[in-house]
Amino acid sequence: MYDGDRTIKTAAADGDFAFSADGLEHWSPENPKLYTLKIKCGDAALERSFGVRRLAADGTRLLLNGRKYFLRGACEHCCYPDTVHPNHDKAHYRRVIKKLKSLGFNHIRFHTYIPEEEYMQAADELGMLMHVECPNNTTVSEWREIVRFCRKHPSVVIYCCGNELLIDEPFIEYLRECAKIVHEETDALFAPMSAALNISGVSRSRRRSLKRSLLSIIRAALKRSGNSAMFTALTRTALTAIFQPIAIPN
């Protein structure tokens, strides 16, 4: 294992191996510290960069490497008018991330879109948290492939199962399977759905209670902005659309 050109750990193994992260510097958007792991097997060799970080939920708070952290996010819609499809130019993604960071963002949500390898590499190097989201109607086996494709990147901290789908009992079972994969194969967070069309089988009183809880969380999170009233009004409108026909009391 290397820190730049300096060797910091060496070991030999016959098959699977593990090593302690004790003493390694944490990766974060403010300090995107990367190390290099080199593996040799006979004449073959593999080299990969990695970072040590953990985004965890603590009630209504998020903790990054054990400290309170607030996500300031932008949304990436996979819009490439010049080429129609995404490119594989890491320099392009580095420019995008540098611009977002200069505007104060530390997080990107990918709208039903899995970022290119070069995009994730740029995020690792420059320091940007990523919320990857599979296309709607992704199968469980495809979901596992997505998780395994993304999990080597310290920038990827949230996995989400789609956007604006009806959450009924069969879909809840699907979400449980997808959540199990994320929790067993990564140290990232799992987000069931970015936005739901409706929640089947939830009582009127439970919906009202859920909306009040969500508004309370949003007010607390946005209190520092000085525009909490505006954000609450916008959120009330969005939640009313999602949980029709219940109106949110003032």
pLDDT along the chain (250 residues), means of 10: 91 83 94 94 90 92 95 92 88 96 96 96 98 94 97 96 84 91 94 68 61 58 51 51 41
From the list 196, 126, 101, 115, the residue with the least C-alpha distance to 158 is 115
Q: How far apart are CA 134 and CA 143, in angstroms?
A: 7
Residue 226, pLDDT score: 52
Q: Spell 216-234 as b/e; 16+ CB within 10 A means b.
A: eebeebbeeeeeeeeebee
**Would you say how long the chain is, in residues?**
250
Place of tokens 């490439």: 80
- For residue 220, the model assigns a pLDDT of 57
- Omega within 30 of 0 (cis) for the link into 115: no
Query: Virtual CA dihedral for 177, 111, 220, 167, nearest 10 degrees?
Result: -40
- Tell me the per-residue pLDDT of 120-178, one tens digit each, with 9 for 90 and over: 999 999 999 999 999 998 999 999 999 999 999 999 999 999 888 877 788 889 999 99
Q: How far apart are CA 211 and CA 227, in angstroms?
A: 20
The whole-model pTM stands at 0.77
